[in-house]
Chains A and B, each alone.
Chain A
């Protein structure tokens, strides 16, 4: 019972964090067709914004939404400066990788300069601890497990039920046709980046309430999000969400039975196997071309 609760809880918790990160990457990829390598840095910046607002005396309930909104603005600006001007280049994917990496380095060093290297912590969503099936867990983690599916569901409803969301998906499916029917593609690009940055900020706030924050805290979640999108396929939003939970459970099982050291190696082996059998990802049906 104890083992099962451990794995179940660990899997759900890690899966929630991975899903929050991976969905933003997938959203940008499906709409713009580029990969945002500063996604991990955006997550870190969101957490630092939240910390700064709390430090100025705001309550968490006020600080966190403001930080998320601020990050939407950062996402928009990032898109307008290092992505949009490059649209149409032959080697767009590669060039955007380098410009987002550089922008990430700029932000990371800026944070280091502004807030210093000392690790910080932001207040948890819900304070306190609880016993669950014989495992001691913090309420903060439980809150993340509960809140994440709600946010993802809201995102799904937005993408499938609202005009704006449908417009975003139209751009993802056929940019030229979307432009022909009068959609403002430039604005939608900005929107995709803004939403992605907000989701990254949320993930950062989740993580910052649970672990200490450093300017390099985004690197590992970015890597995990990359693995998730490779697993789930980046051509849809739902694929990476399923894959995130799948990998969360995979990691929980691996680290329970084989120890923490073997987990990355096993994960990578599974990744290679997936790519050799189904390069477009486990949950992908159609694909935005494998290029």
Chain B
């Protein structure tokens, strides 16, 4: 958990002015965080603990990419989990029916998710706020309906089982308490986070934020709303699709549950609990929420209810999310010292 403290200084940059933290400082902080995560298997030796961490990494990738479209772009894309689901099914069908190499299928799933994101962006280009929520939500449900109805290929409600997993030369992937999957998931998270942070610090990223904060002014300064919105959603889809493919490869089965409301609620609450427009916030919240949920495994059926209550309470009491809270604490600490 020490990763939270080490990355706290880097996330203290206000989201409204991306790039205020010198990039060297941020890179150093991110590397320290990555190192801490890479050393975690030394502490967490059992398969179950590593499974939880792998799930944290998957959630973190999905949530932080959602933060790109939601927090930075201001686009309420409620079809984000559908992009994840498309990754799951793309990988499953590519490896199982088309017999494509798992690693190729993994990357191809990311590309397919990007294509899907472009398709769903077209109808929402002219829309705002609640209308975007409605259309993207409808898109997610439609994808699920199509998958359910094409049961010859997708297995319908039964889902797909015995999906080929990833491989690493001759290494047995389930041996050594999921050692290999842990590092593949970590590499995925690291690449995704690097991509997202470079994107939001770039000129394109700044123009996306400008569109969110003052659309009329940004457009009058020559920023294209259509183009930037398309880029933002496409960018947020790639690693989401890959995370879906990895999830399918790791779980070795696929079901339409990934399109369900409960998963969407949990991942969205990670984005909002972490604090939008930070990328790191979503990652930290994925940790906190997943570990919290796992620690209550004994409660069984009560767990989703406790999680729901927790989400409501945090939304009511702490609107700024975890990063907002950390920021306030950091501000307090530095002021005391000065």
Contacts and interface: CB of A to CB of B under 8 A. Distances in A.
Report if A and B associate in a common complex: yes
Interface of A: 29, 35, 81-82, 85-86, 89, 91, 93-95, 97-99, 101-106, 109-110, 112-113, 219, 223, 226-227, 229-230, 234, 261, 264-265, 268, 271-272, 275-276, 279, 290-291
Contact of A105 (B135, B262, B302): B262
A290 B131 contact: yes
Residues of B contacting A: mostly:
helix
B305 interface: yes
B311 A102 contact: yes
A227 B138 contact: yes
A112 B301 contact: yes
A91 B272 CA distance: 11
A81 B265 CA distance: 18
Contacts of B129: 93, 290-291
A230 B308 contact: no
B301 A81 contact: no
Contacts of B126: 275-276, 279
> Chain B interface residue count: which class?
35 or more
Interface in B248-264: 261-262, 264
A95 B315 contact: yes
Contacts of B307: 105
Interface stretch (B46-54, B142-150, B167-175, B229-237): B142-150
A86 B265 contact: no
Given A89-B319, A271-B123, A275-B127, 19 more contacts: A86-B316, A93-B76, A98-B265, A98-B315, A99-B315, A99-B316, A101-B264, A101-B268, A102-B309, A102-B311, A102-B312, A104-B261, A219-B261, A227-B134, A227-B138, A230-B135, A271-B138, A276-B123, A291-B128
B308 A102 contact: yes
A29 B134 CA distance: 13
Contacts, number: 121
Nearest to B276: A91
B145 to A, nearest CB: 5
A279 B304 contact: no
B128 A85 contact: no
Given A95-B319, A226-B137, A230-B138, A109 B304 contact: yes
Nearest to A277: B126
Contact of A103 (B142, B269, B312): B312
A219 B131 CA distance: 19
Interface of B: 70, 76, 78, 122-124, 126-131, 133-135, 137-139, 141-142, 145-146, 149, 261-262, 264-265, 268-269, 272, 276, 301-302, 304-305, 307-309, 311-312, 315-316, 319
Nearest to B149: A261
Contact of B142 (A106, A229, A268): A268
Contacts of A219: 261
A230 B305 contact: no
Given A109-B301, A219-B261, A98 B311 contact: yes
B315 A86 contact: yes
Contact of A226 (B134, B146, B272, B312): B134
Contacts of B305: 105-106, 109-110, 113
B181 to A, nearest CB: 29
Nearest to A89: B319
Contacts of B127: 275, 279, 290
A161 B262 CA distance: 41
Report, nearest first, the 5 A-B pairs whose CB atoms are least far apart. A106-B308, A291-B129, A272-B123, A102-B308, A102-B311
Of the candidates A99, A101, A234, the one having the most CB atoms from chain B within 10 angstroms of its own CB is A101
A94 B261 CA distance: 15
A275 B138 CA distance: 13
B308 A35 contact: no
Given A102-B311, A234-B130, A268 B138 contact: yes
Contacts of A85: 316
Nearest to B306: A106
Contacts of B138: 223, 226-227, 230, 268, 271
B309 A106 contact: yes
13 contacts: A81-B312, A93-B76, A99-B315, A102-B309, A103-B312, A110-B305, A223-B137, A234-B130, A264-B145, A272-B122, A275-B124, A290-B128, A291-B130
Contacts of A112: 301
A213 to B, nearest CB: 18
Contact of B146 (A29, A110, A265): A265
B135 A97 contact: no
A98 B268 contact: yes
Nearest to A40: B261
A35 B130 contact: yes
A101 B261 contact: yes
A47 to B, nearest CB: 18
Of the candidates B126, B138, B309, B311, the one having the most CB atoms from chain A within 10 angstroms of its own CB is B138
Nearest to A219: B261
B137 A99 contact: no
B240 to A, nearest CB: 19
Contacts of B272: 94-95, 98
Contacts of A105: 261-262, 265, 304-305, 307-308
Nearest to B264: A101
Nearest to A82: B312
A291 B133 CA distance: 11
Nearest to A101: B265
Contacts of A290: 127-129, 131
Contacts of A102: 265, 269, 308-309, 311-312, 315
Contacts of A101: 261, 264-265, 268
